[in-house]
Structure 1
């Protein structure tokens, strides 16, 4: 296991996340701090990394910090089905947060299109149905 201490999120990084979430959702969302065991690969092996977690509109999000200026993001609706941005890591947390929010928004939009193309069911008012609006800033 990697013994190198990965620095926690800075106040500037936390500010960037909080402000991006407020802009996206129109309200304060406080990300929860956590630690996540992450495979870093190569000689680095496995390490405990600082992480931020939040839930909004039926989705759960995580930003992991595997290095001083490295960030990884993913989101999920169910823990067994996690999605990422397609980018291994970001060097700016703002880019990471915006990217994961956009990918999640695009995913919802694609799911909505698939649902809209299927024959109507008896009841479309299921309480388990995710809130699909707004998709993203200005969409």
Structure 2
């Protein structure tokens, strides 16, 4: 079983700082959670991974630590409506957070264009 290190204070700070830059300081707060992930598509077992979770409007975000300097991210509106950046794993946390937020902003813009009342 994989032993995933906890999120460090610096990692939590990087995530929260990037969130603050997007929506303003104190408007959205990430919370530390634990998620279960298949680290490899062939794994039968799920691995507990430390993660940060936050929500804004009707969108939820998760960044999970899957190893030393290894991160995965996704945003979702519902169980069936999930999105990732297309990059399976990041080695730079700042890139992981930034690309996730950019992709979601682009997605939200498209969503509002296609469904103005959404």
Same fold (TM over 0.5): yes
State the shift of 1:44 in Å: 9.2
Match among 12, 15, 26 for residue 13 of structure 2 = 15
Unaligned runs of 5+ residues in structure 1 are: 117-123, 130-139
- Provide the C-alpha distance between the structure 2 equivalents of 1:79 and 1:46, rounded to a whole number of angstroms: 18
- Provide the C-alpha distance between the structure 1 equivalents of 2:65 and 2:71, rounded to a whole number of angstroms: 5
Larger radius of gyration: 1
* Corresponding residue pairs, total: 116
Q: Answer yes or no: is 1:46 the counterpart of 2:51.
A: no
- Provide the C-alpha distance between the structure 1 equivalents of 2:113 and 2:30, rounded to a whole number of angstroms: 30
TM-score, normalising length: structure 2? 0.89
Counterpart of 1:133 in structure 2 is: none
Counterparts in 2 of 1:1-139, with a 5 A limit?
A: 2=1, 4-28=2-26, 29-41=28-40, 46-115=46-115, 129=118
Secondary structure of 1:40's match? Answer: coil
Unaligned runs of 5+ residues in structure 2 are: none
TM-score, normalising length: structure 1? 0.76
For the aligned residues, what is the CA RMSD?
Answer: 1.8
Secondary structure of 2:107's match? Answer: helix
